[in-house]
Each structure stands twice: as C-alpha cells, then as structure tokens.
Structure 1
Amino acid sequence: MSSAPFAERRSVAPLELFFDLIFVFAIGQLAEHLHAELSWRGAAETAVMLVAVLSTWALTSFDATFLGVDRAGTRRLVLVVMGLGLFMNAQITAAFTDRPWAFAVPLVTILLLTDITAAVSAQTTILRQHYLRVTAWAVVSIPLWLIGAAVDQESRLVWWAAAAVVDMAGVWLTHPLPRNVLSSQHLVFDAEHMVERIRLFIILQLGETVLTLGTAISAAPIDAPTVVTGLGVFVALVCLCASYFSGGEDILSRHVSATADRLRPVRRAVSGQYSTLAGLVILAVGAELAISHPTGQGSIQLGLLLFGGPILYVLTQAWWYYISTRQAWSARLVACLVCAAAGVAACWLPPLASVLILDTILVVLVLVLKRVHRRILMTMATDDA
C-alpha cells in the first residue's frame, strides 16, 4: 500500500494538449535541419536544439501540473510559453546560420518566465524552494545560450552544447544544489495527470512523424518501390506506437500508482522523452532517404538513421522498464541488438529491403511484447487483489 500523498486527480486540459502541439511541431523542423546538414556536426546541432525544445516542454508541463492549469495565472503562463515556443521552434532550421537570436531569445525568456513564476506562485514551501533551485540552474545556462547566439557559427555549437547539457542535466537530476535537493517521496503530485500528458505527447510525436513521412511520399515519384517503402515506414511507426500502447502504458500507470515516490517514475519517463523524440527525428530522416531512393544503394548513413532511430526509441523504453519495474525490458533489448546488426547490413542492401527487415523486427517485437505486457498486468492485478 503506497504511503505517498495523493493530489486531486485532474484530467488533461484542452489547453495542455494545444500546448503540446506547439512543441511536436519541432519534430518536422528538427528533421528538416538534420536532413539538410547530414553530418556529425549537423547531428550535434540537431541534438542541441532538441534538448532546448524538450527542456522547455518539460519545465512548463511540470509547472502546469504543480501549479494547476485550472488557475488563471497558470493558463496565462502556458499561453505565453506557447507563443514564444511557436516562434522559437519556427527558427530551428536557421538557428545555426542567420537567426541565432530569434531562437535564443524566446528560449531564455521561457526559462526565466517558467522558473520565476513557479518560484513566486507555488503553493507550498517545498515547491517554492525547488523552483528557486531551478532558477539557479537557469542562471548558469542562460548566459551560455546568449553567448552562443553572439559568437560566430563555428563557435556557437560549443556554447549551445554546454547550455543544453546544463538544461538536460537539470531536468534529469531535478535541479539539485549542494546540500539542497528535492525530496519528492512525500510531495503532493498529480502523477496520473502527468502520465496522461506523457501518453498524449507520445501520440502527438508519432503523429507529427507521420506528417513528415507524408511530405516525403508526396515529393517522391509514384511507383511501386516508393509506395512499398512508404507503407513499410508507416508500418514501422505503427509498431513503435504499439510497443508502448499494447499494454505498456497500463504498466506505467499501475507502477506509478503503487510506488511510494510517485514523482520519481514520472520524472524518469519525462527524461526519456529526449531520446524518444531523437529516435523519431532520426527515423524520419532515414525514411526520407529511403523513400527518395528505394532501390538505390545502401549506405552507412541510411543504416544509422533507419535503424538507429528505432533503437533509440525502443532502448529508452527498455531503460525505463528496467529501472522502474525490472520487467518487460529484455525483449526490447534483444530487438535493439537485432536492429543494430540489420543497420550494418543496410550499408549494402537497397533501402526498400532495409525497410522490410525493420518491419519484420518490429512486428515480432510487438507480438512478443503483447504477451509480456499481458502477463505482467495479470501479475500486478493478482498482487493488488
């Protein structure tokens, strides 16, 4: 029986779902940037901006949950962040060329606005102290974002990468300071609300990836190889969706409701969104390459993108299930190892063949996970009884 305090359960508000749409818009922008700069530097630039996008989403989402999106002040905060986020995300493809300030200024404004608002208006002392620590971390990262916008393009990546590391580490570690850390075990927190936010956010991420896939199909010739490749990538996305939603979300919900520290598993799930989103962006670019030349030559780039994206996505799930429940992780890990081997083979195979191999791996994974999830849920139900 859990000893954690329970917050009043609130449904996800339409405004929160609207807010999420602003940030999944970034998937297409990030994929476009990576496709245009298909190099290790381009990948690093994409990763830095992805961290900025996810960190602002995470901070604002936690603010809305802690402060209560039903409060007028919280709704105003979310709306302002939406406007700033829309402008920031629209600059992703030019942030490392001629529009660094157009990306950095909305970003640092969001960081300051969300942190200070929560530090002032949080309803409990423990939350106000927590957001003062969050603000202290922002004081470190914000100058790095601004300096990066001011320097030349070659140096910008170094400054912004340092800023991204600070922001991501803060989210992962709950922004600790020496001898001053968040004690979340007895914190009143609407965990089920954030579980639902994560669920909907993943659906929206997958949906935006489908839109990117549709754009790639519309730009390619209409012939049998293109159609089969496009459908094949769509099947892969459906399988990635099913790998979580075929019982996996129920395991997450039950685990959160049964654990003593209700914030910890949710925080881990939010931290996992960085690699989940990265996996979808990488897969989207790999899909564009495969659809544009389905019968062409394989390449190292194609193998890394087409199989590396699903590996990141599935490996994140394996990590969460392992550290949280110690269950349902081994099948995911095996699938990642098989994908890694297939990614090597993709260097010599036509893209269409690689897509079909990916589909085979993911379909088998979903069938296995469906049985695994059902067994775990039955065990949980028995334990609850």
Structure 2
Amino acid sequence: MMLMIRGKRSRMQAVTEQSSVTQLELFFDLVLVFAFTQVHGLAEHETTAVNMLRAFLVLAIMWWVWIAYAWLGNVVKADEGIARLALFGAMGAALIVAITIPEAFHDMPGGWFGPLVFALAYLFIRLVHLVMFWCASAQDPQLRGQVTRWAIGSITIGTTLLIIAALNHGTTQLWLWIAAVAGDMAWTLFSGNEWRVNSTSHFAERHGLIVIIALGESVVSIGVGVAGLPISWPIAVGSILGLAVSFLLWWAYFDVGAAVVEEHLAGASGERQIKIARNCYTYWHFPMVVGIIAMSLGLKYVLEYLGGAEEHTLHDALHGIPLFALYGGAAGYLLALVGFRHYATKVVLWPRLVAAVVILALVPLASILPAMAALAVLCAALGALIAWETVRYAGPREQVRHPATH
C-alpha cells in the first residue's frame, strides 16, 4: 500500500510483515542513549526521593517520545519519502529535549527558559507524530478514528500540562508533571484498540533494541564510575561483576521470554493483538527500562566506591538511594518481565517473582556489607535464578530456541 502525500517522491510506504527495523530508526535511538545519560546526571545531582521522582518523570517523557515513533515506524517505513524528514525533525526536537533535561524543572541562569523549552520541544515531537499518523490513516477509516480519539486527550493532557508545569515551581510543578505523565498513559490505555501492527517481528525487534540500549547504559555506568582512576583489582573485579549482572538481565529477557511473547503477538489478531502490543510492549517495557536505569545508577556508585572516588574506601557500604537503586532496579526489572510474559501467555513466572522478593529482602544485609560484596550478592541471586530456570525448564527452552529441530 502506498500513501500519497505530495508527488511521487513524497510517498509514505506502508510497513509489511517482512519488514525489519530500519537504520534510520536506530539512528533515532541514539537520542535515547544520550537522554538516558542525562537522566543519570539528573538523578545523581541530588540523591533525594523528590529528585529520584523527577528523574523518573523525565524518563517517562522520553519513553513516551520513543514509544510514539516505535508505533509509527510499524505503520509507515521510517526511511521512505516524507517520513524520513519527519523522523529527522522529531529527532532534532528530541535532542533539544534531552539537552534540556538538567533544566526540565529548574532554569539555569542565562540562555532560554529551560523548563519551557523542554515542554515546547516535546509538544513539537508529539505534533509531528500526530500529523504523520493522520496522513498514514488517510485510507484506513478505522485507524483514522483511533488516531482522532487518542489525539483528543493524549495531546491535550500530555503537552498542555507540561507547558503549565514549566511556568510553575515546587510542589505544584511536580504534581502537574505527574498528572501529565499519568494522564497521557491512562488516556492511551482507554482510548481504543484499533491501532495497527503491520509487522510483529519489527515491533518485537524494535522493543528488544531499546532493552539493549538500556543495558548498554549500565555498561557505560561501569566505565563512568571508574573514569580517570588507575586500574586495580577492586576495579577489575567490580567491573566484571557489574557486567555479569547486566548479562544476567540480558539473559532473562532474550534467552526465551522475548521469543515466546513475540510468538503470541504474531498468533493473535484483532483487538487481542493490539492489547498484547500495547500492554506487553508499551507498558511493561517501561518498568523494565526504569529498572535497568536505576540499577545502572547503583552500579556507578559501587564502582566509585571501589575506586576510592570522593573519599570512599573499598570497605564502605552502599546505603540509601544508591543501594535501593541497585537492588530495587534489578527486582523491578524481574517483576516487569513477569507482567510482560503473563499478559501474553497467562503464565506466571513464579521463580522470577520469588527472586524479586528475595533480592528486596537482601537489602538490609547488603547495607552492612562492603559495596563489592553487595554487588556480588546481587550477582549470585540473579545467577541462581538463571541457572535454576535453565536446568528446570531445559526441554521447553530448547523447543523455543530451536523449534526447527523439534
């Protein structure tokens, strides 16, 4: 199907079931790489509960930027015709949003008014997305109706409240941000199930890549934590332990789970398919990303302790927000994986539920251990979970990973 906009060279080309993620979409994702780093910086600026909430809200906004174009990229090819220019324009605005993250709540002296720049750049991203979806639905009345219903509330709630928040401060500003994020997500959930998933393989691959990007941020955090410090055995061992934790989180998603849910997405149709796409990917992937980014923050602090940065010693223990970010992030990620799998398959992954509870229960112990020991305990807990699942479910795992041989 070809969607005419203006002239032959301006056509938007529909995504087919055989389509894969385009290079331009991967280029767009580079903005998210930078945004995740900026969220880290915002969270580190002040380790208080309120500031962690601010970082979470900013991450939610960046997630909504990414998810909007993930859905659009599954309807029209991102690198064809006018869609290419639209995606580049959105990418430019997303870069401005990412650059402005340190000023999202408080304006810095000099220059433009940061909070308003953040909100207006976000508005531009959402409007480009809406126009492109409106054009893409020109020959699809059902999709056009869905886009209209969604736009009436989503654009109004998500962007207007952020603009108003930019002109306020303190508690009022924070509540407006919460209302903007929660209202946008809720409206999208209840605005209808008549979206389109043209390619289930593209859709699943796209979301798998954002998990990889988030895990990449955890690896970067290890490097940033020891940047400028001389190599030593604590840094070497701590770095390997941190990488092992990231690897185990990768395994928990990609070994079997991602393939199982993709299979159910491909096998569903109509509203059920849209619900799996929306709930499993749009909603359950968000806490996965939040968990990874939180864990990355904890990893950075661990490596700083091991390197003796900021007057810390090898024997110091993690405490407070850095400790909970490390352990809570890993536990939250596992819980999100349970929800992701359950919605699509109706199967509850009890070992992961138990592992998440155990990890949270280990926080008091980790708070009195040296930082490296706390990281080793987390790595051991995750390793035990993966080893148990690999042995206990060896048969079903083999069938999922190598279906052609069965």
Establish whether TM, by shorter chain, passes 0.5: yes
* CA 372–54 in structure 1, closer or farther in 2 if over 3 Å, else same: farther
For structure 1, which segment, 156-165 or 373-382, has the greater mean C-alpha deviation from structure 2 after superposition? 373-382
Q: Which residue of 1 aligns with 2:172?
A: 155
Distance 1:88 1:226 in 2: 34
2:124 maps to which of 102, 109, 121: 109
* CA 298–131 in structure 1, closer or farther in 2 if over 3 Å, else same: same
* CA 215–188 in structure 1, closer or farther in 2 if over 3 Å, else same: closer
Shift of the alpha carbon at 1:7? 4.8
Q: Does the 8 A contact of 1:54 with 1:273 survive in 2?
A: no
Distance 1:312 1:142 in 2: 28
* CA 253–88 in structure 1, closer or farther in 2 if over 3 Å, else same: same
* CA 143–36 in structure 1, closer or farther in 2 if over 3 Å, else same: same
2:184 maps to which of 158, 167, 180: 167
Q: Which residue of 1 aligns with 2:208?
A: 199
Q: Does the 8 A contact of 2:319 with 2:367 survive in 1?
A: yes
Distance 2:327 2:180 in 1: 29
Q: Which residue of 2 aligns with 1:3?
A: none
Q: Read off the aligned partner of 1:146 and give its amino acid letter.
A: I
Distance 1:374 1:18 in 2: 37
Counterpart check, 1:340 vs 2:352: no
Flag structure 2 segments of 5+ consecutive residues without an equivalent: 1-14, 108-113, 307-314
For structure 1, which segment, 231-240 or 253-262, has the greater mean C-alpha deviation from structure 2 after superposition? 253-262
Shift of the alpha carbon at 1:378? 5.5
SS in 2 for 1:67: coil
Shift of the alpha carbon at 1:270? 2.3
For structure 1, which segment, 338-347 or 298-307, has the greater mean C-alpha deviation from structure 2 after superposition? 298-307
Counterpart check, 1:293 vs 2:322: no
Counting matched residue pairs gives 372
Distance 2:213 2:135 in 1: 32
Distance 2:22 2:289 in 1: 23
Q: Which residue of 2 aligns with 1:76?
A: 85
Q: Which residue of 2 aligns with 1:355?
A: 375
2:329 maps to which of 309, 319, 344: 309
Q: Does the 8 A contact of 2:302 with 2:318 survive in 1?
A: no
* CA 170–74 in structure 1, closer or farther in 2 if over 3 Å, else same: farther
Distance 2:229 2:384 in 1: 29
Counterpart check, 1:120 vs 2:120: no
2:244 maps to which of 231, 235, 249: 235
Q: Aligned-pair RMSD on alpha carbons?
A: 2.4
1:182 maps to which of 179, 193, 203: 193
Q: C-alpha deviations, 1:322-372, integer Å up to 9, x for none?
A: 222133611111110111111221221111110000110111122233346
Shift of the alpha carbon at 1:221? 5.1
For structure 1, which segment, 41-50 or 360-369, has the greater mean C-alpha deviation from structure 2 after superposition? 360-369
* CA 188–220 in structure 1, closer or farther in 2 if over 3 Å, else same: closer
Q: C-alpha deviations, 1:95-153, integer Å up to 9, x for none?
A: 12112122111111111221233123324111111111221121122211101111134
SS in 2 for 1:65: coil
* CA 188–65 in structure 1, closer or farther in 2 if over 3 Å, else same: closer
Counterpart check, 1:322 vs 2:342: yes
Q: Which residue of 1 aligns with 2:106?
A: 97
* CA 200–166 in structure 1, closer or farther in 2 if over 3 Å, else same: same
Q: Does the 8 A contact of 2:97 with 2:122 survive in 1?
A: yes
Shift of the alpha carbon at 1:275? 0.8
Overall identity of the aligned pairs, in %: 24
Distance 2:318 2:157 in 1: 44
Q: Which residue of 1 aligns with 2:233?
A: 224
Counterpart check, 1:48 vs 2:57: yes
Q: Does the 8 A contact of 2:24 with 2:79 survive in 1?
A: no
SS in 2 for 1:323: helix
Q: Does the 8 A contact of 1:328 with 1:369 survive in 2?
A: no
Shift of the alpha carbon at 1:219? 4.3
Distance 1:20 1:269 in 2: 16
Q: C-alpha deviations, 1:138-181, integer Å up to 9, x for none?
A: 1122211101111134532121121111222244x1x51xxxx3
Q: Read off the aligned partner of 2:359 and give its amino acid letter.
A: C
SS in 1 for 2:362: helix
Q: Read off the aligned partner of 2:276 and give its amino acid letter.
A: P
SS in 1 for 2:32: helix
Q: Does the 8 A contact of 1:97 with 1:153 survive in 2?
A: no
